[in-house]
Amino acid sequence: MRAKLSFLAAVVIAGALVSGCANVEKKFSRGVSNMLEPARLGEVRRSVEQAALFDQPGGHYTTGFMAGLNRTVVRTSLGVYEVVTAALPPYDPLLTDYLSPNPVYPANYAPGILADSLFATDTNLGYSGGDVAPFIPGSRFRIFDTH
């Protein structure tokens, strides 16, 4: 009986998540994006950069790192909450006075589209514009960047 109830609960949750409701999809995808923040480290990089530019000289690395680590923990926790409660209202972003609803990046870097055959516009050559390795910090190399 216990196995049937857990299976039924899983089916209900899966049905609610894939029901096609636009608000549920947005909340779920925002939650997954926020859950992946520790792998992306956007909050840490941005906080270190902003502390180095606007705070006191000398302590910007540690201050920025700790502030970014704090924001990363909050964003990851918020992502877990949004994934778990994706099928339940409210569907608007939470904590918008503290965190941006969208992922943040340092001001000196905004990622583009991956250089992949999925997004390639020139299939004869096999090359297209975009980031080659955005997951490697400091990677700014682009192929055939026209802008």
Of 44-48, 53-57, 74-78, 128-132, give the lowest mean pLDDT range.
128-132
CA distance 49 to 67: 11
pLDDT of residue 68: 93
Predicted confidence (pLDDT) at residue 20 exceeds the cutoff of 60 = no
CA distance 17 to 20: 8
Domain ranges of the chain: 2-84, 111-147
Kindly report, residue by residue over 68-102, the tens digit of the pLDDT: 999 999 999 999 999 999 888 888 888 888 888 88
pLDDT of residue 28: 92
CA distance 55 to 51: 5
